[in-house]
Amino acid sequence: MYLAVLGRQPEISIAELEAQFPKAQFLAGPAYVTFSATVSTINIDRFGGVLKLAKALDEKPLEFLQKLPEGKITLGVSDYSLRASRKSATLEALKLKKILVRHGRSVRVVENKDATLSTATSLHNGLSGKNERKVELIKLDDEWYRVIGVQDIDAYAKRDQARPARDAKVGMLPPKLAQILINLCGPLSEGSTILDPFCGTGVVLQEALLMGYRAYGTDVDERMVEYSKRNLEWFTEPENIHSRAASPRPVATGEARSTSRCRAPEAPRMNIFQVQQGDATSFTWQQPIDAVACEGYLGKPMSNIPPEIKLKTEKQECGAIVLGFLKNLASQIKSGTPVVVAAPAWLREDGIYSRLEILDEIADMGYNVHNKTREGLIYHRDGQIVARDIIILRKK
């Protein structure tokens, strides 16, 4: 049994996990989800929506701690039970420490500022599961879990900020969201080709390479094609410390099939990406295309809520591009191919996001819509005017 601590938008994090573990049973709490994936381990570095990942202990927490290798233990406790408090978590940690000390072990307890330790506290105290004697335990009523991974905030920031070609105008897709878009495609074989037909500066392509896939990008703007190429060449240089620091060895996730024909790369390599200029509404892409993950055209950047008339023209322009693209794509992909698109949605005065109302038209083009609800999955920061509405499709 696993427990995942969810990101700022839990519904998106859960959708990401459900897509990767379609056979697992999920039970969601306020900030976490437990699930029963039948894999021996999960690499948290592949999941943009997961803050911490923990595995159920099959013994009492004290028995587990007593078996740790000799030397000083660093112990953190997060309590996700319904009535948990800073006090309850601290008491659990001190109770464990007292017994361990009585048995001759040296223990440092990481101080709780809340019932649960923040991602930064866990990471900076080394509780990410990499050191055997630095342990974070999660209590959930009578169940105990051991943290096996913590989101590496620093690695994401490096991948985002150190790229040589950046453009504020095309919007900066956070690498975490790029991973989520790819994961929402569902389990894919290692070495599968991911197409991004609106590749911009190449964030989806970069994350696809890191996850062990081949990356194929196209963009209508020649400048963006150059930016993507430049970024990916930089990203895949063997001596690039950023890519090496951030590169998790690809680990098959959940029910992912693996084929002996398509070996996953040890690290991103130059020869497994391709970038071309092309208008997504008319271009003929090269095969194979195993999955499509992209952030489509989001319209003009905005810093204020748009008046009705401006919103209408933006919606028409963006809607025409995404529909034109999906229509063009439909005849070029095989039945069952996943297509995940982040489309724009605009903040209204009443605080609700106004979306492109295009799902019925998309269904008529030969796609099944896989979003669980019609409300959609809107990825946004507080007060952000142009948000991303994540549409999950599969070719019929």
Ligand X SMILES: C[S@@+](CC[C@H](N)C(=O)[O-])C[C@H]1O[C@@H](n2cnc3c(N)ncnc32)[C@H](O)[C@@H]1O
Query: Stretches 109-117, 243-251, 273-281, 345-353: which one binds ligand X (CB under 6 A)?
Result: 273-281
Look-up of token digits 């159920």: 56
Binding to ligand X in span 324-363, by CB under 6 A: none
The interface mask with ligand X, positions 164-193, x = CB under 6 A, is: ------xx-x--------------------
Q: Is the dihedral of CA 225, 231, 236, 237 positive or negative?
A: positive
Q: How far is the CB of 200 from ligand X (least distance, A)?
A: 3
Q: How far apart are CA 176 and CA 153, in angstroms?
A: 10
Amino acid present at 298: L
Residue 268 tokens, joined? 């991103």
Binding to ligand X in span 68-127, by CB under 6 A: none
Please identify, using beta-carbon distances, which residue of 170 and 291 lies nearer to ligand X.
170
Q: How far is the CB of 112 from ligand X (least distance, A)?
A: 38
Please identify, using beta-carbon distances, which residue of 153 and 220 lies nearer to ligand X.
220
Please identify, using beta-carbon distances, which residue of 191 and 202 lies nearer to ligand X.
202
End-to-end CA distance of the chain: 33
Residue 128 tokens, joined? 């990410």
- Total of chain residues touching ligand X, rule CB under 6 A: 21
The interface mask with ligand X, positions 190-219, x = CB under 6 A, is: -------xx-xxxxx--------------x
For position 225 contacting ligand X by CB under 6 A, the verdict is no
Q: How far is the CB of 195 from ligand X (least distance, A)?
A: 12
Binding to ligand X in span 288-317, by CB under 6 A: 295, 297-298
Q: How far is the CB of 273 from ligand X (least distance, A)?
A: 13
Choose among 249, 250, 228: nearest CA to 163: 228
Decide: helix, strand or coil at residue 245.
Answer: helix
Please identify, using beta-carbon distances, which residue of 107 and 386 lies nearer to ligand X.
386
Q: Which helix (H) or strand (E) holds 6?
A: strand 2-6
Please identify, using beta-carbon distances, which residue of 237 and 279 lies nearer to ligand X.
279
Q: How far is the CB of 321 from ligand X (least distance, A)?
A: 5
Look-up of token digits 């920031």: 157
Q: Which residues of 327-341 are buried (b: 16+ CB within 10 A; e: fewer)?
A: bbbbebbeeebbbbb
Q: How far is the CB of 260 from ligand X (least distance, A)?
A: 32
Q: How far is the CB of 216 from ligand X (least distance, A)?
A: 13
Alpha-carbon dihedral angle through residues 343, 370, 40, 153, given to the nearest 10 degrees: 20
Q: How far is the CB of 359 from ligand X (least distance, A)?
A: 20
Please identify, using beta-carbon distances, which residue of 140 and 326 lies nearer to ligand X.
326
Binding residue (CB under 6 A) for ligand X from 31, 220, 252, 262:
220
Q: How far apart are CA 202 and CA 234, in angstroms?
A: 12
Binding residue (CB under 6 A) for ligand X from 4, 148, 181, 280:
280
Binding residue (CB under 6 A) for ligand X from 54, 275, 321, 333:
321
Q: How far is the CB of 8 from ligand X (least distance, A)?
A: 20
Q: Is the dihedral of CA 177, 235, 4, 34 positive or negative?
A: positive
Contacts 24+ apart (CB under 8 A), 83-88: 84/115, 84/116, 84/139, 85/115, 86/112, 86/113, 86/114, 86/115, 88/115
Helices (H), the chain: 10-20, 61-66, 86-102, 119-124, 153-161, 175-183, 203-210, 222-235, 241-246, 308-330, 359-364
CB 47 within 8 A of CB 18: no
State which residue has the least CB distance to ligand X. 200
Q: Which residues bind ligand X (CB under 6 A)?
A: 170-171, 173, 197-198, 200-204, 219-221, 224, 279-281, 295, 297-298, 321
